[in-house]
Amino acid sequence: MQMCNAMLEAQAALPRQGGAAEVPKDLPRQSLRLLAALRRHHPATADHSVRVATVLLAMWSRRPEAMGDAALVVSAGLLHDLGKLFLPLSLLEAPRGLTEPEMQAIRAHPVTGAETLAALRFPEPVVAAARDHHERWQGGGYPTGLPGDRLLPLARAVCVADSFVAMIEPGRAYRPTLSVAAALAEVEACSGTQFDPDFAHLLVEGLGPAFQAELRLDLPPGQHFPAPPGQLGTGVAGLLPSHLLERALRLPPCPW
């Protein structure tokens, strides 16, 4: 039932315009609608997605020309794990090792997310980020195993941002939580093998104190980002606790 409801919510967010190459004007609204559906299904995944978008914005702030429009970058971060919208909570919150069929289901989420975003006519860089964020710079990742030079730049940026956030955020039962300093050292160690060296460098150089504060790592496991006062349950309003992300998405100053 949860998965059926999630699919209906995703379909309800279908943009009505054609697949233009430029950034659609309603990209922020459509992105936040899907983020809202993801939060209703699994708040921890939505929180992770907000953190990934924050890290991507830190990288973008160092070299905007390497990553494209800020709204497109943030949208890719917010929606890279959209495929988890269609996974049961029993898999997303399993406190044990997964069986091989369960691992295959988890590893299908990049393709599911990309197919959903393509059907909803999201720009290709956002679709590619969802499909390719578990690929590796030297190849051998999933779902395709392609090397990094065959991937779009924004997808390569999401690869490093997603892995970094997974290392530092709380509530990961299958791995210890690293400090920001230790995770940055791991990114540097994996530069040129798992990660695109240029984007690994951008992450290490760009994640200053302001962006670290926006990550909200002080939240205990299971507690999601709070909405601003008076905005709880108001549709897409109040989904982004970060003023940096709101500005990047060029959101209006009041709820809509």
pLDDT bracket for residue 223 (50, 70, 90): confident
Specify the higher pLDDT residue, 40 or 172: 40
List C-alpha distances in Å: 190 to 60, 145, 158, 162, 201: 20, 17, 15, 14, 11
pLDDT of residue 47: 92
Query: What is the rounded CA–CA span in Å between residue 49 and residue 256?
Result: 21
pLDDT of residue 239: 67
194-223 mean pLDDT: 89
List C-alpha distances in Å: 240 to 20, 75, 234: 26, 12, 13
Question: What is 26-216+241-248's CATH number?
Answer: 1.10.3210.10
Catalytic residues: 84
64-71 mean pLDDT: 94
Helix or strand or coil: residue 215?
Answer: coil
Percent residues over pLDDT 90 in the chain:
64
Specify the higher pLDDT residue, 98 or 13: 98
Specify the higher pLDDT residue, 216 or 133: 133
Query: What is the rounded CA–CA span in Å between residue 223 and residue 169?
Result: 12
The answer on pLDDT for 86 being more than 60 is: yes
Query: What is the rounded CA–CA span in Å between residue 84 and residue 107?
Result: 10
Query: What is the rounded CA–CA span in Å between residue 92 and residue 114?
Result: 19
- Per residue in 240-256, pLDDT (tens digit) is 877 889 889 988 654 43
pLDDT of residue 219: 76
pLDDT of residue 16: 32
Burial class (CB in 10 A: 0-12, 13-18, 19+), 222: exposed
In degrees and rounded to multiples of 5, residue 152 shows phi and psi of -65, 150
pLDDT of residue 97: 73
The answer on pLDDT for 24 being more than 90 is: no
- Per residue in 111-139, pLDDT (tens digit) is 999 999 999 999 999 999 999 999 999 99
Query: What is the rounded CA–CA span in Å between residue 155 and residue 178?
Result: 24
Give me the residue spans of the domains in the chain.
26-216+241-248
Burial class (CB in 10 A: 0-12, 13-18, 19+), 105: middle
Question: What's the whole-model pTM score?
Answer: 0.86
Query: What is the rounded CA–CA span in Å between residue 19 and residue 95?
Result: 41
pLDDT bracket for residue 216 (50, 70, 90): confident
pLDDT bracket for residue 196 (50, 70, 90): very high
